[in-house]
Amino acid sequence: MLNLQRFAVILFLLSFSFSGMAQRIGRVENAETGKPLSNVNIQNLDSGFGTVSNSLGDFNLGTRTAETDSIQFSYVGFQKETLTLTELKDRNFIVLLFPKLESLEDVMISGNGSLRKSVPYRKLEDMPKAVTNFGYASSSEKLFVVGGSLAEKHDKNGKLQDRMFMSNLDFSDYIKAMRLNRNFDFLHYNQQIFSYDFATQKWKTATPKVTERINQNSAILNGKVYTFGGKTTGLRGKKELLPNIIEIYDPATDELEIDETNPHMANNFASFVYDSLLFVAGGSNKQSTTTSIKQYSNVMHVFNPETGFWRELSYLPQPKEVNGVLAGDKFYFIGGEQNDALAFVESYDLKTGKWKRHGRIFENMRKPSLAFDGTYIYIYDHGKLLSYNPMTEELKQYQIDLDEREPGIAYRDDKLYIFGGFIAREFEYFPSSHLYEIPLSELVRTRIQREKTLGGSY
């Protein structure tokens, strides 16, 4: 009887959830033809929630969308549309996207002359393999991509829910299908090291094979590529493990050596090189197999490659997964995750040992890609490129028409390089092999979407 009561409660909660979500169903159509548009990128600019339209043009915003939230709809070859939830209701949740006019696709006219709508870029030679969640590092001559994942991911449960919301799929059939189509993606690791020569614009593959792992970091110390952290799987792929090994690749000899002394065993953490020392900070080091709740770290370690010694240096203001970038004598942490995506900009002064929170970027970013050119910190996150000046605290956002999420990023000679990561389509995620070159000189000829000045709070 008790089990029956619990099942009834679960059914009630599910039906309540489904009915609430159904109120947020809409459709995206071509404004000129009236035909539905599939795989339209839909982003809540306030909460960070993202989804795509299905093959019928239908989409679902979930139940946590506020009336004043701004929802952006973007699709290649069409003009972007941004609407609040209130405006969507007034339009009966029908979103019309207009095709771009060829004469206006590249530039727009402003009081200061012609401005591009989005940052231009150039596609370069693809990586040898499509890969995501890898380690990477760059020098003035070469870019290195180490390990990562080659696997595609398929959200079968999400696809079934979409079928249930958008069709007449019976709830009992839905439960049966859930049992038969559980989410399971075969792990497929990349064990190779790829190097890109900026001069020849060609990729090469190193001879040694690296450990199977993802979400690791890489850094260049004394001409060698150090790779550390991340996670791998145990026997039969049932447990996730945090390896303590450091792999040291020497490009001059094409050889790999192993060191097993890394005390900072973490996943999705920040790292940087300063004064020939390696610093690592934050990340997650445990995740519940039943609730998916993570245990986060706030520790910062420093490693001296000359002595081989590690020591604990400091503590982050809050434990979290995070990415960061070195700018002068300060290390900047931007965005990250602590159960939900974050938007804070924080810095650690290596001279004084003091922390400072500078403010928030425009929206939460779980894993932004970061690079520094000597003046500006550049922040890339799926179709958005931000520039942040640490001296003036000015933050600007530009549109860039790239689909890659969580790619690698590197700076060289007034250009940014975006590579790898993954591309999301309807309930499917595919690793990317693409490499793009972005001329930063074109930012002054590109329209600024949003801008503000941050201010420190501690």
**Packing angle between helix 171-180 and helix 2-22, nearest 10 degrees?**
100
Task: Judge if 81 and 46 occupy the same domain.
Answer: yes
Per-residue pLDDT, 272:
95
Q: What is the largest CA-CA distance in the chain?
A: 74
Task: Judge if 224 and 313 occupy the same domain.
Answer: yes
Task: Judge if 333 and 427 occupy the same domain.
Answer: yes
Task: Judge if 81 and 137 occupy the same domain.
Answer: no
Per-residue pLDDT, 95:
94
Residue 64 lies in a domain: yes
138-176 residue pLDDT tens: 999 999 999 999 998 766 555 555 555 555 555 565 555
Distance, CA of 193 to CA of 146 (rounded, Å):
5
Domain end point (choices 72, 105, 138): 105
Residue 30 burial (CB count, 10 A)? 16
Domain span including residue 77: 17-105
Task: Judge if 228 and 303 occupy the same domain.
Answer: yes
Distance, CA of 428 to CA of 157 (rounded, Å):
11
Task: Judge if 86 and 145 occupy the same domain.
Answer: no
Task: Judge if 67 and 197 occupy the same domain.
Answer: no
Task: Judge if 100 and 139 occupy the same domain.
Answer: no
Task: Judge if 303 and 418 occupy the same domain.
Answer: yes
Task: Judge if 54 and 198 occupy the same domain.
Answer: no
**Mean pLDDT, to the nearest integer, of 295-306?**
95
* CATH number, position 139: 2.120.10.80
Task: Judge if 295 and 410 occupy the same domain.
Answer: yes
Distance, CA of 452 to CA of 458 (rounded, Å):
19
Residue 165 lies in a domain: no
pTM: 0.72
Using 50, 70 and 90 to split pLDDT, how confident is the model at 18? very low
Using 50, 70 and 90 to split pLDDT, how confident is the model at 21? very low
**Packing angle between helix 171-180 and helix 156-166, nearest 10 degrees?**
170
Residue 168 lies in a domain: no
48-104 residue pLDDT tens: 778 888 878 898 887 778 888 889 988 877 888 999 888 888 888 999 998 875 333
* CATH number, position 57: 2.60.40.1120
Distance, CA of 338 to CA of 319 (rounded, Å):
7
Distance, CA of 141 to CA of 298 (rounded, Å):
34
The number of distinct structural domains making up the chain is: 2
Structure token digits, residue 60: 């679902």
